[in-house]
Amino acid sequence: MSALQEGTLLLIDKPLNWTSFDVVNRIRVAICKHYNIKKLKIGHAGTLDPLATGLLILCTGKWTKKIDSIQAQVKGYSGTIQMGYTTASYDMETEPVEVEHDVKLNSELVAKASIQFTGVQNQLPPIFSAIKKEGKRAYDLARQGKEVAMDPRQIEIFDLQLKWDGSDEISFNVVCSKGTYIRSLAHDIGQFLGTGAYLSALRRTSIGDYSVDKAESLEVLLSNFN
C-alpha cells in the first residue's frame, strides 16, 4: 500500500460512457476499501469526455503534484468524423442535423484539410464544454437553450492525418497541444470541406511519452483490489 500512498501513476484505458471523475472515484473507493484506509490522495491528469475512450492518467500521493505538468504535455488521438451532418455539441451527445450541400468529397480536398488545420491556430471551443462563462459551465447554459458566446483560444496541431475511403466518414490521427478540442476540430473540418461534420468516435492514444498501449482496462485494475 505504501507505493500508492507515497505516490505513483496509474495508466487506465478509460471505457466508453464513464466520466473521468467516475473513474477516479471508483478506483479511490476500491483502494480505500481494500486497504481499509479512510482516504487516498488521487486525481487525473487530463479530462476525457464520457463519449471518448483511451488513456487516462491517474496520480496518487505525491504524484498529484505532477498533474499540471503531465496535463501540459502533447496529446495524441484517433477517431472518426461523420460527414454530412452537424450537432450542437460537435459530437454524438446531441441530435445530428443533416446539412444540405453540393460539395462532393475527394482525396485532394481531404488532403488540403489536413494541411489547413496543421500548425498554430485560433480554435473556438464548443458551447457544450466545461469552460466557465459568467460563473457557470458553458454546457449548463447550452442545455438550457441559452446562447453562449465562446472565446477563441490558441492551440497547435503538430500532426494531422486524415484518411478517407470514399464513404461518409473520415478517420484521423492527430497530435496536438493542451487545450485542443477534437470536437471543434471535427466541426471545423466539416466547415472547411463544405459538408458539415461531427465527431463520431474518439480515442486518446497518448499523453507525452505515456501510451494507451501500456494502460490497463478499468476492469483489470479494479480486480487487483478485490
Annotated active-site residue 68? The verdict is: no
- Note whether 57 and 120 are same-domain residues: no
Question: For residue 14, what are the domain limits?
Answer: 2-72+214-223
- Note whether 67 and 93 are same-domain residues: no
> Measured between alpha carbons, how far is residue 87 from residues 81, 144, 196 in Å?
12, 16, 9
Q: How does pLDDT run across 175-220, given as a tens digit for each residue?
A: 999 999 999 999 999 999 999 999 999 999 999 999 999 999 999 9
Q: How does pLDDT run across 40-71, given as a tens digit for each residue?
A: 999 999 999 999 999 999 999 999 999 999 99
- Note whether 219 and 149 are same-domain residues: no
- Note whether 99 and 35 are same-domain residues: no
In 135-177, DSSP assigns E strands to 136-137, 153-164, 169-176
What is the value of pTM for the model shown? 0.92
- Note whether 36 and 82 are same-domain residues: no
- Note whether 94 and 180 are same-domain residues: yes
- Structural domain tally of the chain? 2
Q: How far is it, in rounded angstroms, from Cα 20 to Cα 86?
A: 26
What CATH number does residue 193 fall under?
3.30.2350.10
Q: Which of 49, 159, 188, 213 is catalytic?
A: 49
Q: How far is it, in rounded angstroms, from Cα 192 to Cα 215?
A: 35
